[in-house]
Structure 1
Amino acid sequence: MTKKSSLNPKTTKFEFGGVLGTMVMTVALPILSVILNQMIRPDYHIEGCFRNFDWNRVTQGLQPVSGLISNTRTWTYYILWFLSLLFFDTVLPGKWMQGITLRDGSSLWYKINGISVVAMLSLILAVRWKLTDGLMPELQYLYSHQVELCVVSIIFAFILACYCYVVSFIPLLFNKTNKEGTKEKILAVGGNSGNIIYDWFIGRELNPRIGPIDIKMFCELRPGMMLWLLINLSCLHNYYLEYDGKINDALLLINLLQGFYILDGVLNEEGVLSMMDITTDGFGFMLAFGDLTFVPFTYSLQARYLSVSPIHLGYVKFFSILSLMCLGYWIFHSSNSQKSKFRQGKLSHLKSIQTKRGTKLLCDGWWAKSQHMNYFGDWLISLSWCLTTWFQTPLTYYYSLYFATLLLHRQQRDEEKCHEKYGKDWEEYQRKVPYKIIPYVY
Structure 2
Amino acid sequence: MSSPLNPKTTHWEFSGLPGAIGITLGLPTLIIFFALITNENYSLTGINLDIQAIIDQLPQNSTEWIDLCFDKTCWLAYLTWFFGLVILDFILPGRSLNGVTLRDNTKLNYKINGLAMSGTLLAVLAARVYQSTNWYLPELQFIYDNHLKLTIVTTIFSFLLAIFVYITSFIPLITPNGVKTRERVLSVNGNTGSVIYDWFIGRELNPRIGTWDIKLFCELRPGLLLWFLINLSCIHNQYHKYGEITDSLVLINALQAFYVFDGVLNEEGLLTMIDITTDGFGFMLAFGDLAWLPWSYSLPARYVCLPEHKVSLGFSNIALILGIKVLGYYIFHSSNKQKSDFRQGKLDHLNLVSIPTKTGSKLLCDGWWGLSQHINYLGDWLIGWSWCLPTGFQTPLTYFYVIYFGTLLLHRQMRDEAKCRAKYGKQWEEYEAKVPYKIIPYVY
TM value normalised by structure 1: 0.96
Query: Deviation of residue 21 (structure 1)?
Result: 1.5
The answer to whether the 8 A contact 1:39-1:50 is kept is: no
Identify unmatched segments of 5+ residues in structure 2.
Answer: none
How far apart are the structure 2 equivalents of 1:230 and 1:128?
Answer: 13
Q: Provide the residue aligned with 1:44 in structure 2.
A: 42
Task: Verify: 1:231 aligned to 2:233, yes or no.
Answer: no
Q: Provide the residue aligned with 1:60 in structure 2.
A: 56
Q: Greater CA deviation, 285-294 or 167-176?
A: 167-176
How far apart are the structure 2 equivalents of 1:287 and 1:428?
Answer: 34
The answer to whether the 8 A contact 2:46-2:394 is kept is: no
Provide runs of 4+ in structure 1 moved above 3 Å. Answer: 48-52, 174-177
The answer to whether the 8 A contact 2:166-2:199 is kept is: yes
Describe how 1:31-180 pairs up with structure 2 within 5 A.
31-44=29-42, 49=45, 53-63=49-59, 65-133=65-133, 134-173=135-174, 175=176
Q: Output one character per residue of 1:101-160: Cα deviation in whole Å (capped at 9) or x when no partner.
A: 011110000000001011111111111112222110010010111111000001000000
The answer to whether the 8 A contact 1:41-1:49 is kept is: no
Aligned residue for 2:97, secondary structure, equals strand
How far apart are the structure 2 equivalents of 1:196 and 1:388?
Answer: 43
Aligned residue for 1:99, secondary structure, equals strand
Task: Verify: 1:213 aligned to 2:209, yes or no.
Answer: no
Query: Deviation of residue 311 (structure 1)?
Result: 0.4
Aligned residue for 2:111, secondary structure, equals strand
Aligned-residue Cα RMSD (Å) equals 1.6
The answer to whether the 8 A contact 1:89-1:113 is kept is: yes
The answer to whether the 8 A contact 1:219-1:291 is kept is: yes
What amino acid is aligned across from residue 426 of structure 1 in structure 2? W
What amino acid is aligned across from residue 410 of structure 2 in structure 1? L
Query: Deviation of residue 355 (structure 1)?
Result: 0.8
Q: Provide the residue aligned with 1:257 in structure 2.
A: 255
Aligned residue for 2:148, secondary structure, equals helix
Aligned residue for 1:206, secondary structure, equals coil
The answer to whether the 8 A contact 2:200-2:283 is kept is: yes
Q: Output one character per residue of 1:73-125: Cα deviation in whole Å (capped at 9) or x when no partner.
A: 00000000000110111100010100000111100000000010111111111
Q: Provide the residue aligned with 2:6 in structure 1.
A: 8
How far apart are the structure 1 equivalents of 2:46 and 2:3?
Answer: 52
How far apart are the structure 1 equivalents of 2:320 and 2:177?
Answer: 56
How far apart are the structure 2 equivalents of 1:237 and 1:26?
Answer: 33
TM value normalised by structure 2: 0.95
What amino acid is aligned across from residue 28 of structure 2 in structure 1? P
Q: Provide the residue aligned with 2:416 in structure 1.
A: 414
The answer to whether the 8 A contact 2:129-2:137 is kept is: yes
Aligned residue for 1:361, secondary structure, equals strand
Q: Provide the residue aligned with 2:289 in structure 1.
A: 291
The equivalent position to 2:386 in structure 1, one of 384, 387, 397, is 384
Q: Provide the residue aligned with 1:188 in structure 2.
A: 187
The answer to whether the 8 A contact 2:70-2:153 is kept is: no
What amino acid is aligned across from residue 343 of structure 2 in structure 1? R
The answer to whether the 8 A contact 1:114-1:268 is kept is: yes
Aligned residue for 2:110, secondary structure, equals strand
How far apart are the structure 2 equivalents of 1:52 and 1:358?
Answer: 56
Q: Provide the residue aligned with 2:314 in structure 1.
A: 314
Q: Output one character per residue of 1:320-358: Cα deviation in whole Å (capped at 9) or x when no partner.
A: 011001100000010001001111100112111111111
Quick one: structure 1 residues 163 and 240, their matched pair in 2 at CA, closer, same or farther if it must change by over 3 Å? same
What amino acid is aligned across from residue 114 of structure 2 in structure 1? G
The equivalent position to 1:370 in structure 2, one of 366, 372, 386, is 372
Q: Provide the residue aligned with 1:28 in structure 2.
A: 26
How far apart are the structure 2 equivalents of 1:182 and 1:12?
Answer: 27
The answer to whether the 8 A contact 1:34-1:151 is kept is: yes
How far apart are the structure 1 equivalents of 2:176 and 2:95?
Answer: 27
How far apart are the structure 1 equivalents of 2:30 and 2:336?
Answer: 32
What amino acid is aligned across from residue 245 of structure 2 in structure 1? I
Quick one: structure 1 residues 182 and 211, their matched pair in 2 at CA, closer, same or farther if it must change by over 3 Å? closer
Question: Once the two structures are aligned, what percentage of the paired residues are identical?
Answer: 56
How far apart are the structure 1 equivalents of 2:394 and 2:69?
Answer: 36
Q: Greater CA deviation, 88-97 or 16-25?
A: 16-25
Query: Deviation of residue 51 (structure 1)?
Result: 5.2
Task: Verify: 1:339 aligned to 2:339, yes or no.
Answer: yes
Identify unmatched segments of 5+ residues in structure 1.
Answer: none
Query: Deviation of residue 40 (structure 1)?
Result: 0.3
What amino acid is aligned across from residue 198 of structure 1 in structure 2? Y
Task: Verify: 1:300 aligned to 2:298, yes or no.
Answer: yes
Quick one: structure 1 residues 313 and 7, their matched pair in 2 at CA, closer, same or farther if it must change by over 3 Å? same
The answer to whether the 8 A contact 2:174-2:181 is kept is: no
